[in-house]
């Protein structure tokens, strides 16, 4: 039996994000200089994302809070909780990152972000 390719699903996800998403920024912290006197700066990368609110039934007040946002993005760069999201002038911490990755094909990231 041949391996299944998820290229079609990946293309559809990218197309939907490109069509219905808006530009946000992924912010990463970069440390340069010596370990005892580091220079810390932020790099921002523009990326398209679909922002969704969590459903009331998903909000438990602990793991998912009422102001948390869900971002669906496609990125060739890895996204982690060390990054931040800048959306419409508001900086969000990334609480959780789920990678939708059937097999070895990264389709999208589902990010839980909090003010």
What value does the mean pLDDT take over residues 49-71? Answer: 94
CA dist 65 to 29, 60, 61, 86, 91, Å? 25, 6, 5, 19, 16
Q: How far apart are CA 68 and CA 56, in angstroms?
A: 11
Q: Model confidence at 110, in pLDDT bands (50, 70, 90)?
A: very high
The predicted model scores a pTM of 0.84
What value does the mean pLDDT take over residues 52-74? Answer: 93
Q: How far apart are CA 46 and CA 86, in angstroms?
A: 9
Q: List pLDDT tens digits, range 3-29.
A: 777 888 888 888 999 999 999 999 999
What value does the mean pLDDT take over residues 98-104? Answer: 83
Give the H/E segment covering residue 53: strand 38-53
């Amino acid at each position: 039996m041949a391996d299944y390719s998820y290229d079609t699903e990946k293309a559809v996800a990218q197309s939907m994000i490109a069509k219905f998403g808006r530009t946000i920024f992924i912010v990463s912290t970069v440390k340069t200089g010596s370990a005892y006197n580091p220079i810390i700066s932020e790099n921002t990368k523009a990326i398209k994302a679909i922002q969704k609110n969590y459903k009331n039934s998903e909000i438990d007040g602990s793991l998912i809070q009422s102001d948390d946002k869900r971002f669906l993005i496609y990125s060739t760069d890895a996204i982690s909780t060390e990054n931040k999201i800048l959306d419409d002038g508001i900086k969000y911490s990334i609480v959780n990152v789920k990678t939708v990755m059937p097999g070895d094909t990264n389709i999208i990231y589902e990010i839980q972000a909090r003010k």
